[in-house]
């Protein structure tokens, strides 16, 4: 590898540590591991499927795709393997941002990682994007996630969102003032 090429390769910035977990910004090279983790988590829920190319093509290049959207994508590494993800994007509403793609592997649950990732997104939204409101959509089947969001002060909004996706998702909307 030439010196110029080596200089272009940047080490991902570490955003947080939780016990033996390192949280860093995703690179496009993380795509396969991110997709595998999300697919594994979704397979825990009856009827949930991941159709990457049809419904989530940004997962093929999580680092650059989310930057193009004006947001960020982070991964958590447990012993060198990706064990969690979370993303942040702006919305069309002034001052509002959206928490997305919070997924934690079965093996990494119960350590506070989901809370840490949510707090990272909230802090980044507030401090770097000037947001004062966070919103998120979550599948009605993800009961543990609902408990986490409510523990963090998110408020479930009235109504349901029926998605025309392969999982036939029915989603709740949560919001939180930052």
Each residue's pLDDT tens digit, 24-43: 999 999 999 999 999 999 99
Q: Domains in the chain, start-ordered, CATH in brackets?
A: 3-177 (3.40.630.30)
pTM: 0.89
Each residue's pLDDT tens digit, 122-172: 999 999 999 999 999 999 999 999 999 999 999 999 999 999 999 999 999
Q: How far apart are CA 143 and CA 15, in angstroms?
A: 27
The number of angstroms, rounded, from the C-alpha of 83 to the middle of its chain's C-alpha atoms is 12
Listing DSSP states for 105-153 in one string gives: -GGGTTSSHHHHHHHHHHHHHHHHH--SEEEEEEETT-HHHHHHHHHTT
The number of angstroms, rounded, from the C-alpha of 26 to the middle of its chain's C-alpha atoms is 10
User: 56 by DSSP, 3-state: which?
Assistant: coil
Whether pLDDT at 1 is above 90: no
Q: How far apart are CA 161 and CA 35, in angstroms?
A: 24
């Amino acid at each position: 590898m030439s010196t110029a090429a080596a200089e272009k390769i940047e080490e991902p910035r570490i955003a947080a540590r939780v016990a033996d977990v390192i949280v860093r910004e995703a690179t496009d090279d993380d795509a396969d591991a991110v997709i595998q983790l999300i697919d594994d988590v979704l397979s825990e829920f009856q009827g949930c499927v991941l159709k990457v190319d049809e419904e989530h093509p940004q997962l093929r290049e999580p680092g650059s795709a989310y930057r193009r959207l004006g947001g960020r994508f982070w991964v958590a590494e447990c012993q060198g393997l990706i064990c969690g993800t979370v993303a942040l994007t702006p919305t069309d509403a002034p001052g509002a941002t959206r928490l997305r793609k919070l997924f934690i592997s079965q093996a990494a649950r119960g350590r506070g990682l989901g809370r840490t990732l949510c707090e990272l997104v909230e802090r980044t939204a507030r401090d770097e994007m000037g947001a004062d409101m966070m919103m998120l959509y979550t599948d009605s089947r993800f009961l543990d996630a609902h408990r986490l969001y409510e523990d963090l002060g998110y408020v479930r909004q009235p109504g349901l969102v029926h998605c025309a996706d392969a999982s036939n998702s029915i989603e709740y909307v949560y919001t939180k003032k930052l």
